[in-house]
Structure 1
Amino acid sequence: MGRVLSTEQVAPRDRIAYWHEVICSTFIKLDVAQTGGGSFRGMVRDHHVGPIRATRIVTDPMTAERSRRHLRAAEEDVCLLALQLNGRTIGHQDGRRAVLRPGDLALFDSRRPYLVDFQGPRFDHLVLQFPRAALRERGIEPDGATAHRIAVDSMIGRLVSPFIVNATRVADAASPETGERLAEMALDLIATALAPFGGLDRPPTAPGEELPHRVRLYMQLHLSDPCLSPPKVAAAHSISLRQLHRLFAREGTTFGRWLREERLRRCFDDLAAPRLAGRSIAEIGARWGMPDAPGLSRAFRARYGMSPREHRAAALAAPGTPPPTARPEGGPLRTCGGSV
């Protein structure tokens, strides 16, 4: 289980002061105030999902404010994604106002003032904290993405909210490798959800573009599955194999080529990451659905013009080295169902 801190541990007269310390040590520097009557109650439970800190907060009605005073001495450079579980939250940042009900999501940025009003009678909230850089690496500028409500009944909300809740539930029992993988998936999903507000997205997709978008997102979430195959993806979207292959043909590619490119790109990034330097090349390949180490090496060399080992050595010796020029892609990707 994760760390648990509760006001039940202290006398009623000391609870507000104690709660302020809990909030500031768990999240970022904030001013908190009770908005209801009676003896205040609050509890936080921490989990770690890879580099993401996930905190469940159950509390009586309160407000939390990040003011300019906090920013002057701030060392934090994080974003906070709020997922409402019970009660209601009204969040304000950057001139926007988001009203969250159970299942809804919104982003807040530690680098600018914000105010959140946690309404009850009993408030239940899940907050994910992660570096701002994690969004910027995914093409999202947090400044434009804050305090926008992502509704639980929207297409992306139906995907993101349950995934985050379930990933947090299994975090304590998961291996570090699984935690890292879940975190990458969660951050990719969050970036996708924020894209319409943060500058990544094109104008709203036309009706004919929605299905390809959903198919690609599904495949990105299942890259770690070495048995990901056209029949499995087609069945998940209630379409025929012919329809599925047509979607990729319209973009000038194939199912197998697109899948191989995505997997190799993730392996390329992981092999250059200092935090993953202790993992073998085979482990990184398996992490992204390419458990056949010789096959990974051949595909990697065909794509990038060097072996995985050579790329890792160059990247870790000289961080910031630009990626090599890609060669024409190699042969077919092998999956559990054969070539695709």
Structure 2
Amino acid sequence: MRPPPHAERSFSAAYGEVELVVRAAPEAWRGSLRLRHLGVLQVATEECDPVEVVRTARDATADGRTHLFARLQLEGTALVFQDGRRARLRPGDLAFHDAGRPFSLALPERQRARVLMVPRQLVRLGEADIRRVMAQVIGATAPQAPAALLLPLLTGLVDEIATAAPATREDLAHAVTDVLAALAAAQLTGPGHRPPGDVPGETAMFDRVKATIETRLSEPELSPTVLAEAHGISLRYLHKLFQEHSTTVGTWIRRRRLEACRAELARPSAADRSIAAVAARWGFVSPAHFSHAFRKAYGMSPAQFRAQAHGG
């Protein structure tokens, strides 16, 4: 049975053509979907009664959408089906799925989720690797260690976008896509895991190093030597990877730490945390060095930024 037509239209407008199927009386079904467009990122907040969401091959061909979904489960459970795999999501878990191919979602109970939609090229994986990471659980119930740091960072960034000043939303949206790319890359680089026959090229290796940086941002001792040893490559090759992207390893680490600090300083839930504590959490040993780097990057002190972000 189908829920009210306006519900199906709302889901299809956000996700691409989909069909909704409910098992109970359709007139009693309740659901809502709020969509925000943030440049490269779209964020849907979804809350609904039990339902099945189906995107067929015909639907995918008809509308031609090819973006990737990252479903972050907030309440209740969800089952994500694609390519013969099933990901069971509990609160705090995330899974990717692909609008360009058939998928289905089984939502067996009242639930709430955030669904992040990004152009597939921003995940920076080849098509074969994209298929490997779809419908895989990322979170507390999965063995991948990077998720322990990256998922809270992702959740905080997405929460912050809702209340951020318009001038900072685009930067936050790009930070979210960077974290999603790191999460996807980390799915391919778990301990001892490498797909059969896979010989990482420079782009893949660069993405894997970036995923490790995201995972270990909080470690003050993170350095080019640590990264080279973690990936079994020479320091010279590591520096070459970053030079080809017109940056250095140290610059990249510093930028990502500053972005993480800025996101936390803007977050209302972290308002009682001292600036020094925020800096230390993201790997800055010296509060003075952090304040100098922050002012140089953003044109104001951390205290001024926090006051502006909170409307002070």
Normalised by the length of structure 2, the TM-score is 0.62
Decide which of 123, 128, 139 is 2:116's aligned counterpart: 128
Q: Which string of whole-angstrom CA distances, capped at 9 and with x for unpartnered residues, describes residues 70-93 of structure 1?
A: 123122111111111111111111
Decide which of 171, 186, 207 is 2:161's aligned counterpart: 171
| Structure 2: distance between partners of 1:180 and 1:159 | 22
Residues 1:71 and 1:217: Cα distance change in structure 2 (over 3 Å): closer
Name the structure 2 match of 1:109.
Answer: 98
1:167 maps to amino acid: L
Shift of 1:288: 9.9
> Which secondary structure state, in structure 2, belongs to the residue aligned with residue 147 of structure 1?
coil
Asked if the contact 1:84/1:125 (under 8 Å) is kept, the reply is: yes
Residues 1:245 and 1:81: Cα distance change in structure 2 (over 3 Å): closer
Shift of 1:190: 1.8
Asked if the contact 1:71/1:112 (under 8 Å) is kept, the reply is: yes
* Structural mapping, 1:204-223, within 5 Å: 204=193, 217=211
Asked if the contact 1:51/1:130 (under 8 Å) is kept, the reply is: yes
| Structure 2: distance between partners of 1:218 and 1:175 | 30
Residues 1:263 and 1:177: Cα distance change in structure 2 (over 3 Å): farther
Shift of 1:27: 1.6
Decide which of 11, 20, 29 is 1:40's aligned counterpart: 29
| Structure 2: distance between partners of 1:24 and 1:110 | 11
Residues 1:138 and 1:187: Cα distance change in structure 2 (over 3 Å): farther
Residues 1:108 and 1:73: Cα distance change in structure 2 (over 3 Å): same
Asked if the contact 1:79/1:130 (under 8 Å) is kept, the reply is: yes
Q: Flag the structure with larger Rg.
A: 1
Name the structure 1 match of 2:226.
Answer: 247
Name the structure 2 match of 1:97.
Answer: 86
Shift of 1:49: 4.0
Decide which of 108, 116, 135 is 1:119's aligned counterpart: 108
Q: Is structure 2 residue 76 aligned with structure 1 residue 87? A: yes
Name the structure 2 match of 1:210.
Answer: none
5+ residue gaps, structure 1? 1-13, 206-212, 223-232, 267-285, 290-333
Name the structure 2 match of 1:27.
Answer: 15
| Structure 1: distance between partners of 2:77 and 2:228 | 45
5+ residue gaps, structure 2? 195-206, 249-254, 259-288, 294-312
1:152 maps to amino acid: A
| Structure 2: distance between partners of 1:218 and 1:262 | 19
Q: Which string of whole-angstrom CA distances, capped at 9 and with x for unpartnered residues, describes residues 201-235 of structure 1?
A: 79439xxxxxxx9996575599xxxxxxxxxx6xx
Shift of 1:17: 1.2
Name the structure 1 match of 2:146.
Answer: 156
- The aligned length equals 235
Q: Which string of whole-angstrom CA distances, capped at 9 and with x for unpartnered residues, describes residues 124-176 of structure 1?
A: 111001111212x3557322221111123542222233223222222143345
| Structure 2: distance between partners of 1:288 and 1:87 | 33
Residues 1:145 and 1:215: Cα distance change in structure 2 (over 3 Å): closer
| Structure 2: distance between partners of 1:28 and 1:95 | 21
Residues 1:58 and 1:203: Cα distance change in structure 2 (over 3 Å): same
Residues 1:85 and 1:33: Cα distance change in structure 2 (over 3 Å): same
Name the structure 2 match of 1:301.
Answer: none
Asked if the contact 1:138/1:188 (under 8 Å) is kept, the reply is: no
Shift of 1:107: 0.9
> Which secondary structure state, in structure 2, belongs to the residue aligned with residue 159 of structure 1?
helix
Shift of 1:111: 1.4
> Which secondary structure state, in structure 2, belongs to the residue aligned with residue 155 of structure 1?
coil
> Which secondary structure state, in structure 2, belongs to the residue aligned with residue 128 of structure 1?
strand
> Which secondary structure state, in structure 1, belongs to the residue aligned with residue 136 of structure 2?
coil
Asked if the contact 1:84/1:103 (under 8 Å) is kept, the reply is: yes
Name the structure 2 match of 1:68.
Answer: 57
Asked if the contact 1:139/1:200 (under 8 Å) is kept, the reply is: no
| Structure 2: distance between partners of 1:44 and 1:244 | 43
Asked if the contact 2:225/2:235 (under 8 Å) is kept, the reply is: no
| Structure 2: distance between partners of 1:93 and 1:133 | 19
| Structure 2: distance between partners of 1:145 and 1:216 | 17
Asked if the contact 1:86/1:125 (under 8 Å) is kept, the reply is: yes
Name the structure 2 match of 1:144.
Answer: 132
| Structure 2: distance between partners of 1:261 and 1:175 | 33
Asked if the contact 1:48/1:172 (under 8 Å) is kept, the reply is: no
Q: Which string of whole-angstrom CA distances, capped at 9 and with x for unpartnered residues, describes residues 232-271 of structure 1?
A: x6xx33x6x5x857526856559xx79x8599449xxxxx
| Structure 2: distance between partners of 1:129 and 1:74 | 16
Q: Is structure 2 residue 57 aligned with structure 1 residue 57? A: no
